[in-house]
Structure 1
Amino acid sequence: MLDLKICPGCGDRAELPVVEGERLVCAVCGHRAAFHRLPLLALTGPSGAGKSTVGPELARRLQGEVVVLEQDVLWTGALRDDVDGHPAFRSTWLRMAAMIHQSGRPVVLCGTVVPAEFEPLPERVFFSGIHYLALVADSGVLARRLRGRPAWRGWDEPRIAEMLAFNEWLRREGRSMSPPVELYDTTTVSLADSVEHAVRWVRRVLSREIARSSAS
């Protein structure tokens, strides 16, 4: 079964999956199943900092190396829980990424997320690590970008203020999070430079993960 929470031996569904090394272990029947435990790469940051323009270019530049996905495609009514951090939404994405990883290619997930929203979830065990690159920008520039968006996207002033606060918080606290969030300021750089930085980040993270795996 592709859903890593379901045991292929007895069919039990684990709310708290157990991983030992590169094996999924069923707490009910003891079945041990090999799986690809790959890193997840999160391209994050506030709306307007560049994720939606960098993401498609990443998919083009890194085709055959990673799978690039847009987080908001699953932002549906059924997953919009009222709990801080939206754990149902986040858990669904971790399960989806882990299933895609069984094809042997890591996922780059483009969307607003911080470590505290992924790290405590039961599905976190499916990944060798989650790595974060946040695109940020000067708040004045970010506000102009958001105000220039089409009306259907719903960027009114209260929502813009909330996003600017998130941007400043991320710029201030990102590097001290666990794991740390790498920051890249897109205020004055071109799209090409942003894409190039993200490409280098993805390849650097994957090279480091391969080296770590080979050494263990």
Structure 2
Amino acid sequence: MLDPRICPACGDRADVPLVEGTTRMCDRCGHRWPFRRLPLFALTGPSGGGKSTVGPALAARLAGRAVVLEQDVLWTAGLRDDVDGHPAFRATWLRMAAMIAQNGRPVVLCGTVVPPEFEALPERALFSDIHYLALIAEPEVLAERLRARPAWREWDEPRIAETLGFNDWLRKHAEVLQPPVRLFDTSATPLEASVDHTVSWFDDLSTVDPVHESTWRRTRSE
């Protein structure tokens, strides 16, 4: 089975997936099976920071090396109805990214998220690390970008003010979050330079551990 919560031997669904190195384990029947525990890359930041602009170019640049996805594609009824950080929505994305990782490619997930919304979830165990890069902007630049969006996106002034507040909070707290969030200001940065910076962030953190990979392959062949 591809769902990383479900044991392929007994069919039990784990509330808290157990992962040890390159192996998933079933708490019920003791079955063990090979599991790629890759890093997840969260390209985050406030709306208007540049995620949706950088994302398509990033997908082209990282083609064959990573899978670039947009969080909002699953922002649907049910998943968006829960509160306190939308844990059902976040957990669904972690399971999706973990399934994709079994093909050998990490996921770059574009969408607003902060570490407490991922790190506390049971599905966090499915990844070796989660790396966070937030695209931010100066308040006046961010507000201008949001006001220029089409009407169907419903960016009224109260919603813009809320986003500016999050942008400011992120600037102040990024370094003390666990793990810390890297910041990159796109206020006066050309698109190509923003993409270059994001690719460099991915390159710096995406080195495959050869020991881990060889162990995974050996476990899979047994």
What TM-score range do you get, normalising by the shorter chain?
over 0.9
| Residue identity in the other structure for 1:44 | T
Q: Deviations over 1:60-89 (max 9, x none)?
A: 011000000000000001201332100000
In the other structure, the counterpart of 2:73 is 73
In the other structure, the counterpart of 1:131 is 131
Quote the offset at 1:19 in angstroms.
1.1
In the other structure, the counterpart of 1:182 is 182
| Residue identity in the other structure for 2:144 | R
Q: Any residues of structure 2 matched to 1:1-40 within 5 Å, and which?
A: 1-40=1-40
Q: Deviations over 1:159-194 (max 9, x none)?
A: 111100000000110111100000000011100100
Q: Any residues of structure 2 matched to 1:165-176 within 5 Å, and which?
A: 165-176=165-176
For the residue of structure 2 that corresponds to 1:108, the secondary structure is: strand
In structure 1, how many angstroms separate the alpha carbons of the residues matched to 2:9 and 2:212?
A: 27
In structure 2, how many angstroms separate the alpha carbons of the residues matched to 1:40 and 1:82?
A: 23
In structure 2, how many angstroms separate the alpha carbons of the residues matched to 1:13 and 1:82?
A: 22
Quote the offset at 1:127 in angstroms.
0.2
In the other structure, the counterpart of 2:209 is 210
| Residue identity in the other structure for 1:140 | E
Q: Any residues of structure 2 matched to 1:43-54 within 5 Å, and which?
A: 43-54=43-54
Counterpart check, 1:117 vs 2:120: no
Q: Select between 17-26 and 193-202 the one with higher mean Cα deviation.
A: 17-26
In the other structure, the counterpart of 1:93 is 93
In structure 1, how many angstroms separate the alpha carbons of the residues matched to 2:71 and 2:83?
A: 18
| Residue identity in the other structure for 2:183 | L
In the other structure, the counterpart of 2:218 is none
Quote the offset at 1:151 in angstroms.
0.3
In structure 2, how many angstroms separate the alpha carbons of the residues matched to 1:151 and 1:202?
A: 34
For the residue of structure 1 that corresponds to 2:209, the secondary structure is: helix
Change (3 A) 1:212 1:182: farther
Quote the offset at 1:137 in angstroms.
0.4
In structure 1, how many angstroms separate the alpha carbons of the residues matched to 2:186 and 2:209?
A: 29
Change (3 A) 1:106 1:165: same
Instruction: Give the TM-score normalised by the residue count of structure 2.
Output: 0.94
For the residue of structure 2 that corresponds to 1:79, the secondary structure is: coil
| Residue identity in the other structure for 2:59 | A
| CA root-mean-square deviation | 1.4
8 A Cα contact 2:175 2:181, kept in partner: yes
Q: Select between 198-207 and 105-114 the one with higher mean Cα deviation.
A: 198-207
Q: What percentage of residue pairs aligned between the two structures are identical?
A: 66
Structure 2: where are the runs of 5+ without partners?
216-222
Quote the offset at 1:211 in angstroms.
7.1
In structure 2, how many angstroms separate the alpha carbons of the residues matched to 1:148 and 1:49?
A: 13
How many residue pairs end up in the alignment?
A: 214
For the residue of structure 1 that corresponds to 2:204, the secondary structure is: helix
Quote the offset at 1:97 in angstroms.
0.3
